[in-house]
Structure 1
């Protein structure tokens, strides 16, 4: 197996002010319902954190409910959220995982995924080294009583796998790393803000050029700046 090197996480922004707010200590979290109702490319996920959701104002047809082979009629459904294993909605704060594998095909796909994300979310970005993620969580924990969990998102074609830690494989290009805070109601659209007044400037880097070079070949495997993202492997 070719080794995978975990470098850190990246969060892209179209609005530079939001990036600056993060660096100053504003940790902004959306609810799953925000993503279920969004119509923006890359942001919208009708079934975020659940195996299925129905919203009267969003969907054309309501779900059919069948119990013991009998279809129930006359129901007036406005919102239905089906979750597996007793999961509950949590506030979400989402990043892109930067892992490197010394493999040209992997690197080409990585560059394609990053550029798609940049197109959907913007070219400004925050970058955190893997080693600094626990420190970020530690600081947040001093400002909120909410439980904080974090890690890489898994992807599956099987909707019974979907939840707050697993999404449809349609979103696999996002290589998501997410922070999960507390619990919220499934129709809640109110954001959660955790403010660390001292800021994150020492661990959250703004538009920092990231250049990863193979020691033996001296080939640039990955390069990211505000203006571009590429790999010299692209030119083989």
Structure 2
């Protein structure tokens, strides 16, 4: 394998029941507003899929708008996004790539430890050779059009959107599936399932190790 080559996709879980549902072909896709309102570390992102958001319900500091020199207050919510961007239901995975050097290996270890702490020790895994088939099946199964890509991370807020997040979330190494377009304040999950097609694609808690060429040293174990 070459450095930075994709090994597979991982999705971490704290609840084994939810993991089993995924392995058995049930997919829960989350609207951005759920993450904007959540307060759990790692899950919460006030600026999910947007440049800026204000929610009175979060007890955010009050904002004041000036439109044509008119001062406007008493807002309950405000969402600012790039012109071409939109809210979509999301299904997210951790992209596992072969480290390029010892420094990137150490960072990968730290990122996985943090992911397990924030999302759970249990996990589903899709090996790289199965990803294309997985995406084809999802596209057939989804009631809405799908796009997917690895998320980029930036310190520049003007870049943030559905496929770019704050650099603070770079440890999540997201591969993101986006479905259709949802209302800005949507909080209902998009759910679809097929119990017959994914059992050989999505693996439950497999033994994952990265070793040297002669298998004498284990560099990483998940």
Asked if 2 retains the 8 angstrom alpha-carbon contact of 1:140 and 1:194, the reply is no
1:147-169 CA deviation, whole Å, 9 max, x = no partner?
11112110000000000000000
The yes-or-no answer on 1:34 pairing with 2:44 is no
Matched residue, 2:142 = 144
Asked if 1 retains the 8 angstrom alpha-carbon contact of 2:65 and 2:72, the reply is no
Query: Where do 4+ consecutive residues of structure 1 move more than 3 Å?
Result: none
In the alignment, the residues of structure 2 paired with residue 145 and residue 27 of structure 1 have an alpha-carbon distance, to the nearest angstrom, of 12
Q: What is the TM-score normalised by the length of structure 2?
A: 0.94
Query: CA 1:199–1:20 in structure 2 vs 1: closer, same or farther (change >3 Å)?
Result: farther
Asked if 1 retains the 8 angstrom alpha-carbon contact of 2:6 and 2:97, the reply is yes
Matched residue, 1:232 = none
1:195-216 CA deviation, whole Å, 9 max, x = no partner?
1231411010000011121215
In the alignment, the residues of structure 2 paired with residue 174 and residue 60 of structure 1 have an alpha-carbon distance, to the nearest angstrom, of 25
> What is the count of residue pairs matched by the alignment?
221
Matched residue, 1:231 = none
| Unmatched runs of 5 consecutive residues or more in structure 2 | none
The yes-or-no answer on 1:175 pairing with 2:173 is yes
Asked if 1 retains the 8 angstrom alpha-carbon contact of 2:65 and 2:73, the reply is no
The yes-or-no answer on 1:123 pairing with 2:121 is yes
C-alpha RMSD over aligned residues: 1.6
Q: Residue 107 of structure 1 is aligned with which of 105, 108, 114? A: 105
Query: CA 1:60–1:145 in structure 2 vs 1: closer, same or farther (change >3 Å)?
Result: closer
Alignment of 1:199-214 (within 5 A): 199-214=197-212
Q: What is the TM-score normalised by the length of structure 1?
A: 0.88
